[in-house]
């Protein structure tokens, strides 16, 4: 008589897609603790990580950077959260769990400058127009519906059409960069269990690039659902 031995291989990588301007600290902490990681990887470079910790933000830089920062700030005010707060939450949880913190993103300024240099005139003027409108509260870029539903498919498709160069540099190329860094981390320590905290817009690209690792995927809508259920449970109690 033979006894079957069933070996369950747990995923060594989990990717959590967040929104940088919504307070998701409670569900984010829950998912991270459930996975019990040895390492928490953040969609940040050293400069942005230090800026978040000191709460300092530069008002200088290319207009595209100020434009995107303006949109993030506006959405953060709408949803009651500071841009990047979920990265601080993830970092604090990592410290409490004794997990390593790794910064896996490339420096943002060179990334934006590359996009700036390769941008065609029509995309350049579209940025100028939307930048002006964003400062007077009339920008056509509206991610509010995606923030509520957790599905940015429509908004990202529109962004790709209107800003193909920006999308290529700020999303696609960073997907590749961050995916390569995660592979390096796992190769350096085969026993690592890594949680990567990235913006929802990066999840699909990174999932595809890391498909051979079969990462566990937590979408923004999963965070929103867990947050809703947590609130409902608290009210019932």
How many domains are contained in the chain? Answer: 1
Boundaries of domain holding 158: 13-236
Place of tokens 């707060």: 85
Left if phi > 0, otherwise alpha if psi is -120 to 50, otherwise beta: which for 11? beta
Q: Which residue has tokens 């908004």? A: 155
Residue 17 domain-assigned?
yes
> Does residue 3 or residue 176 have the better pLDDT?
176
Computed from CA positions of residues 173, 205, 77, 223, in that sequence, does the dihedral angle turn out positive or negative? negative
In a domain, 5, yes or no: no
Tell me if 1 is assigned to some domain.
no
Q: How far apart are CA 81 and CA 73, in angstroms?
A: 9
Give the pLDDT band of residue 235 (cuts 50, 70, 90).
very low
For residues 227 and 26, give the distance between their C-alpha atoms in angstroms, rounded to a whole number.
7
* Cβ neighbours of residue 195 closer than 8 Å, sequence gap 6 or more: 14, 15, 16, 31, 32, 35, 37, 39, 40, 41, 90
Separation of alpha carbons 107 and 54, rounded Å: 18
Report CA-CA distances (Å) from 37 to 11, 18, 64, 67, 195: 11, 18, 35, 35, 6
Residues 181-197 have pLDDT tens digits of 999 999 998 889 999 99
The tokens of 175 are what?
């997907």
At 43 the three-state DSSP class reads coil
**Secondary structure class of 47 (helix, strand, coil):** helix
List the beta bridge partners of residue 16: 197, 218
In a domain, 3, yes or no: no
24 located within any domain: yes
* pLDDT at site 83: 52
How many Å is the Cα radius of gyration of the chain? 19
In-domain check, residue 6: no
pTM of the model: 0.79
- pLDDT computed for residue 65 by the predictor: 55
Instruction: Say if 201 falls within a structural domain.
Output: yes
Residue 28 in any domain: the answer is yes
SS3 label, residue 14: strand
pLDDT of 21 > 50? The answer is yes
What's the mean pLDDT in 213-229? 92
Using CA atoms in the order 43, 47, 52, 54, what is the torsion angle rounded to 10 degrees?
160
**CA–CA separation, 187 vs 144, rounded Å?**
39
Count CA atoms closer than 13 A to 168's CA, side-chain side: 13
The pLDDT of residue 196: 98
Question: pLDDT-derived band of residue 60, with 50, 70 and 90 as boundaries?
Answer: low
């Amino acid at each position: 008589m033979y006894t079957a031995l069933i070996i369950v291989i747990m995923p060594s990588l989990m990717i959590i897609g967040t929104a940088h301007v919504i307070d998701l600290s409670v569900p984010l902490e829950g998912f991270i603790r459930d996975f019990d990681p040895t390492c928490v990887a953040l969609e940040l470079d050293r400069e942005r990580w230090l800026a978040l910790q000191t709460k300092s933000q530069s008002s200088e830089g290319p207009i595209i950077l100020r434009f995107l920062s303006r949109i993030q700030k506006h959405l953060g005010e709408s949803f009651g959260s500071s841009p990047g707060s979920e990265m601080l939450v993830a970092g604090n949880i990592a410290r409490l769990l004794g997990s390593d913190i790794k910064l896996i993103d490339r420096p943002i300024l060179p990334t934006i400058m590359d996009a700036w240099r390769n941008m065609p005139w029509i995309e350049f003027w579209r940025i100028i127009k939307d930048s002006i409108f964003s400062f007077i509260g009339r920008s056509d870029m509206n991610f509010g519906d995606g923030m509520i539903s957790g599905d940015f498919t429509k908004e990202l498709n529109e962004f790709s059409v209107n800003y193909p160069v920006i999308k290529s540099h700020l999303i696609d190329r960073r997907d590749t960069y961050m995916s390569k860094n995660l592979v390096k981390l796992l190769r350096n320590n085969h026993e690592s269990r890594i949680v990567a905290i990235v913006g929802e817009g990066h999840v699909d690209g990174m999932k595809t690039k890391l498909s051979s690792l079969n990462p566990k995927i937590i979408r923004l809508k999963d965070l929103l659902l867990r947050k809703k259920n947590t609130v409902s449970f608290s009210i019932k109690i």
